[in-house]
Chains A and B, each alone.
Chain A
Amino acid sequence: MSLNGFKACVLRTGGTNCDLETSIALEEVGIKAEIIHMNRIENKSLLDYHLVVFPGGFSYGDYVRAGAVWGKNVLVKLRIELERFIEEGRLVLGICNGFQVLVEAGILPGDGVSETPSAALANNSSARYECRWVWLRVENNETPFTMMMEKGEVLRIPVGHAEGRFLTRSEKDLEELKKNRQIVFRYVLPNGDCANGLYPFNPNGSTYDVAGICNRKGNVMGMMPHPERAFFGWQLVEWGKTPPERGDGRKIFESIVKYFRERIY
C-alpha cells in the first residue's frame, strides 16, 4: 500500500525547537509531515492525521517543570480528540521534551489520559544538561515504532536534556510497566549489558535505565534520546574512514512506515 494517504502532524509551540529536523526525518522515509503551531490547531482536526509527534525543545521555557505547561495546554485544547486518536490506534510519538509533555499530560505511561501524571522525568542525577551519544537496547520490538528492529539490538542515538530521569510512583508501577512490556528502550553499556545506573552510560540516573516507554497498546511512545539526530549517516559521532549510510534513529521512522503499510484503517 502506498504511503500517500498517511500524514503526520508535528506539533510545536513557543520553545519547541526540533520540529524541523523531525519533519525532515519523516519526509525522508516518505511520510508527509506538517508542522502545526498550537495556536493554529483549532483550525485543524487531529483526525486528519495518522501520527502526531511532540518534538523536542523547551516548550514555554520549561518553566515550572519540563513539559508541564505544554502538557496542560494539550489537555485543554486537544483532550477529547487526542483520546479518540489514541483509542483508534493511531500513533503518538514524543521525543525528549515531547516525552516530558506526554508524561505531564498523563498520556504516558497510562492508557488513555490519567487525571494526574503517574510518572515523572526528573532532573538528571548529574544535576546538569547532558549532551552525549548513548547506547540503547531494544526491549520491545513489537511496537509500531520498533518493528524494524531486533529485540536486544543496541542502537546509537544522542541525548540532550537536563530533565530525563524517569521515575515511577512506586516499585509496583515499575513492575507493571515491565509486565506489560511498556519499557521500549533502556540505556546500556556499549556491549549491550545493563547500565545499572552507571554514568555516563545511563546519562540521567533513570530508574531501571529506562530511556523510552509506550502505553499498553503500544501506539503511544515517548523517548528521551533524539532519533532525528541519528538519522543520516553523516550525523553520527564516529565515521571510520567514510560516513556510514544511515544512523540507527532511522529505524524508528522506518518502523512507523512498515506499520502504516501493513495496517488498513
Chain B
Amino acid sequence: MGLGISLERMRYLKQYFKERPPTDVELQMIGQTWSEHCFHNVFKGDVITDDGRLINSILKTYIMRSTKELDKDWCISVFEDNAGIIDFDKGYAVAAKVETHNHPSAVEPFGGAATGVGGVIRDILGVWGEPVALTDVLCFGPLETRYDELPPGVKHPRYLYRGVVAGIGSYGNNMGIPTVSGAVIFDKGYTGNVVVYCGCIGILPKDAYVRNTRRGDLAVLAGGRTGRDGIHGVTFASAELTEEAEELRSAVQIPNPIVEERLRRAILRIRDERLATGITDLGGGGLSCAAGEMAYRSKLGVDIELDMVPLKAPDMAPWEIWVSESQERMLLSVPEENLERVLEIFSEEDVEASVVGRFVETGRVRVFTRKTVVCDLDLVFLFNPPKVTRRARIPRLTPAWVDLKEPIDLAGEILTLLSDPNIRSKEDVIRTYDHEVRGCTVVKPLHGEEAGPSDAAVVKPLRDSWTGIVISCGVNPFYPDPYWMAAASIEEALRNNAAVGGRRVAILDNFVWGSPENEDNMGRLLKAVEACYDFSKALDTPFISGKDSLYNESPLGPVRPTLLVTGVGIIPDIRNVVTISLKEEGSRVYIIGSTKEELRGSAYFRLKGVDGGEVPKLDAKLSRSLINSLIRAVDEKLVLSCHDLSEGGLGVAAAEMVVASKNLGIELDLGKVPSNTARSDYVLFSESTSRFLVEVDGARWRRFEELFSGLPFSMVGRVARGIGLRIIDLKNGLHELSGSEIKKAWRGY
C-alpha cells in the first residue's frame, strides 16, 4: 500500500486498533498525517547527542524559542498557520511562506517545480493573503556533468534545470504574480538531489485574518477536481530517491495555474465579504490533512461525504479520493447562511465548488462513502503520534592548512570568479519570469539601465502607502561548518535586506538535508539549528515560519546540506530605496565592516580547489551596529548606492556594482581596507560577514563617517568615469579592468 509507516509505529497502531481492524482509508490517512513531510517528526521528536544531551524537539528548543523570547509585537501569527504573518501598514499584514518541492522536481521537473509554486501560493491564500511576490532558489548539479557520471534513475542536471525553470516561470507568469527574488546554485552535491525552494509573499487586511471554524459550519471544497495525480506525494517526499522513483511519477501533481488564478479571485472576494470562518489549502495529504487539521485546530470534528467530491476519474477508490494531492484546491468552512453567496461567487469566477461535509462537535474525523463509514478516527490520537528519537554525532571540522601561492594577476582572478556558474548573471532564468506584473515592483532582480544584480527586491503592495516589502535571501551551502554556515546565511538575508534599505526583518528557515537516520547528518542539522537560535536572537530577527525537507538521498548520496534563510523586511518609504548602480562621478566609496582571513568554503578557494583555513564567522553585536548605522545613513539619504559583500568578497561585489553602472567605475585601494591579512587576494576575496560596499554622497561624507564612528569602516576609493575597476594592491601594484570586460565576464556576452 505504500504507507511509509515505520515498524515501531505499526506496532503502536496494532495496539490502538485492538477492537477492529483499521480500514484502508484510515491507514492511508495515518500514513499521510504521520509522514515526515506533514508532521516533521524529526524537528518535533527527541534528539540524543553523542556528548550525552537529550533535546526535546529541536524546533521548539531552538527556532521557536528565539521567536518567543524576542516577543515582537509586530508578529501576528508565527509557526501555527499555513504562513507566518507580520504587521505591515494601514491596517494590513504581510504573510510569508517558503516551501521545498525537491522530490517531485527530481522525477518530473516541470510539473514538480510548477506545483511547488502553486502550493506555496495556496499557503498564502490559506491565510486569506493576496499573493504579491514569489521567490525561488534552485540548486542543480553542474550543467556540464557527463552522462556516464550519472547512475540509473538520476536525471541530467541540464534536463532538470530547463524543466524546473520553465515550470516555475509558467506558474508564476500565468498567475500574474511577479517572481522577484531568488538564486541559482550549481554543485555536484545537488546532482542526485535537485533542490527547489518556492516562496510566496502576500498581504491581507489584518481584520480579514479569520480562523474561527464553528460547529455546524459546512466544509466547502473548491477549485480543481480530485484525481489520481499526486497520490502518496508526501510519503514519496519523505523517502529516499531511488532508481525506482520513476515509477512514482503519479506521486507528482499536474499543474493548472489558470484554475488557481480563478480560485484566487474567488477566495479574495469571499474574504472581502467575510463569508467564511476558516480556510486551508489542500497540499500534502490532500483532503485528509486539510479536513483533519481544520477540525483539530478548531477543537471540533468533521464528517466528510466522499461522494460529494468532484472527481477527474469516476472509479477512484475512497482512500485515493481522501489522500489525492491534486492541485488547485482549497477547503473553506462556511456558515450555512452564507453558503448561497459563497457558491455564487465561485460560479461567477468559473470555479467548481461543492459542500463535502460539516464540522461537528465529535472530536473525530469521520468519512462516509455511499452512507458507509470508511474512516472514524480520534483527532487527538491522529495528531499525536509516538515521538521519534534520533541520534546525532556532533561534527568537528578538521583544521587544514592552506597552501596557495598568491597570484600575480588579480584582475584575471576577478574575471574568472565573475564567470563562475554560481556568480555569473542568471539573466537567462530571471528574464523568463515576469517580475513586473502587478506594477508594484520597485527594486527589480536585475536593476538599472545596465541590469545589475540587486541585493533584495522591493515591492509596493498598497496603492495609498509608500511602505514597501523588502525580500531577500541568504544561502551559503559551501561553508563546511554547519553552525557558521547557518549564522552566515541568517546574516546574509539581513545584509541583503539592509543593502536596499530594509529593516525590521522577519526570517523564514528552510532546511534541505540528507537522511536524519544518519547520525552525522543529524549532528550537522543540530549545529545549524543551534545557530538559528543563537543568531536570530542576537541579531534581533524572529523566525516566523519554516519548513524542513529531510531524506534528500539518492544513489549519489545525500544532498549538500542547505539552509535557505528568507528575509522579509520593510522600508517606510520606497522612494528612499538604495540600488546597486553607481550614481555619481567623484563620490566616495566606503567599505563597512572588517575583512579577515576567512576563506574556507569561499568561491575563491573553491575555484582554486583549496579547502582549509577559517570559515567566515559572525560577531552578532558588531553586525547589528553596522546594519543599524547603515539604515540611518539610508534614511538620511547619504547612501547613493550599496552592495553587500558575499560570494567572491570585495572583488566580486565591486565588479557587480560596475556591471550595474553606465560608464562609471570604482578606484579601489586595498591598502585602505580594514583587514588582518597581508595578502591582496585575501583582501579581495575573503567572505567575512557584516560587510558592505557603499557609495556616499560626495558633499555629505562627514555625516556618514560620524554615523559609523567607533565601528570598522574606511574610505577605499572613489567613483570614476570611463573606467571599470582600478585596484591598487597591498604592494602598490595596479590592476585594471574595463567596464566592458567585467560585463562580458559576468553576463557571458
Contact = CB atoms under 8 A, between A and B. Distances in A.
B272 to A, nearest CB: 13
A56 B176 CA distance: 9
Interface stretch (B432-440, B534-542, B706-714): B432-440
B434 A129 contact: yes
Given A14-B261, A243-B575, A131 B640 contact: no
The 9 closest A-B pairs by CB, nearest first: A17-B176, A21-B439, A61-B258, A160-B434, A129-B432, A58-B174, A14-B262, A238-B449, A15-B258
21 contacts: A14-B261, A15-B174, A18-B437, A18-B439, A21-B439, A37-B348, A39-B350, A56-B437, A57-B176, A58-B176, A58-B257, A61-B258, A130-B432, A131-B430, A158-B436, A229-B439, A231-B439, A234-B574, A235-B441, A241-B640, A242-B575
B344 to A, nearest CB: 11
B223 interface: no
A165 interface: no
Given A61-B174, A243-B575, A20 B258 contact: no
Nearest to A27: B463
A108 B430 CA distance: 32
A3 interface: no
A240 B578 CA distance: 10
A60 B258 contact: yes
Interface string A10-40: 0000110110110011000000000001011
A40 B434 contact: no
Interface string B35-48: 00000000000000
A17 B579 contact: no
Interface string B454-495: 000000100100000000000000000000000000000000
Contacts of A242: 575
B436 A160 contact: yes
Interface string B340-354: 000000001110000
B349 A131 contact: no
Contact of B261 (A15, A128, A131, A229): A15
Contact of B583 (A14, A234, A240): A240
Interface in A54-100: 56-58, 60-62
Nearest to A62: B174
Interface string B554-594: 00000000000000000000110001010110000000000
A232 B463 CA distance: 11
Interface in A93-120: none
Interface string B436-450: 111111101001110
Interface in B257-282: 257-258, 261-262
Nearest to A40: B348
A106 to B, nearest CB: 24
B460 A237 contact: no
Contact of A132 (B174, B350, B431, B584): B431
A210 B479 CA distance: 50
B175 interface: yes
B175 A129 contact: no
Contacts of A15: 174, 258, 261-262
B431 A238 contact: no
Contacts of A181: none
Contacts of A228: 439
Interface residues of B, number: 40
B432 A14 contact: no
Nearest to B348: A39
A62 B448 CA distance: 31
Contact of B258 (A37, A58, A234, A237): A58
A61 B174 CA distance: 7
A39 B437 CA distance: 24
Given A14-B350, A57-B176, A129 B438 contact: no
Interface string B141-153: 0000000000000
Contact of A24 (B431, B434, B439): B439
Contacts of A235: 436, 439, 441-442
B602 to A, nearest CB: 32
A61 B431 contact: no
B173 interface: yes
B163 interface: no
A17 B437 contact: yes
Interface in A233-265: 234-235, 237-243
B447 A241 contact: no
B169 interface: yes
B422 interface: no
B431 A129 contact: yes
Interface in A214-241: 226, 228-229, 231-232, 234-235, 237-241
B657 to A, nearest CB: 14
Contacts of A61: 174, 256-258
A239 B574 CA distance: 12
B224 to A, nearest CB: 13
B581 A238 contact: yes
A182 to B, nearest CB: 27
A231 B432 CA distance: 22
A240 B575 CA distance: 11
Contacts of A130: 431-432
B275 to A, nearest CB: 18
Contacts of A238: 447-449, 581
Contacts of A60: 258
A241 B583 contact: yes
Contacts of B444: 237
Contacts of A37: 348-349
A130 B435 CA distance: 10
Contact of B449 (A20, A129, A237): A237
A24 B348 CA distance: 23
Contacts of B438: 17-18, 20-21
Given A129-B432, A131-B436, A132-B431, A234 B173 contact: no
A86 B234 CA distance: 54
Nearest to A28: B463
Given A15-B262, A17-B176, 15 more contacts: A17-B175, A17-B438, A18-B437, A21-B440, A61-B256, A61-B258, A128-B431, A129-B169, A131-B431, A160-B173, A160-B437, A162-B173, A229-B436, A237-B448, A238-B581
Contact of A234 (B169, B435, B447, B575): B575
B173 A58 contact: yes
B395 to A, nearest CB: 42
Point out which of B439, B441, B451 has the most chain A C-beta atoms below 10 A from its C-beta: B439
Contacts of B350: 14, 39
A21 B175 CA distance: 15
Interface in B132-171: 169
B130 to A, nearest CB: 10
Nearest to B256: A61
A158 B438 CA distance: 12
Given A24-B463, A130-B432, A238-B581, A14 B449 contact: no
Nearest to A241: B583
A159 to B, nearest CB: 9
A2 B349 CA distance: 35
B726 to A, nearest CB: 24
A226 B575 contact: no
Contacts of B575: 234, 242-243
Contacts of A129: 169, 173, 431-434
Interface string B221-241: 000000000000000000000
Contacts of B449: 237-238
Contacts of B173: 58, 129, 160, 162
A101 to B, nearest CB: 15
Nearest to A240: B583
A37 B451 CA distance: 37
Interface in A117-166: 128-132, 158, 160, 162
A237 B640 CA distance: 16
A24 B464 CA distance: 11
B681 to A, nearest CB: 34
A238 B661 CA distance: 10
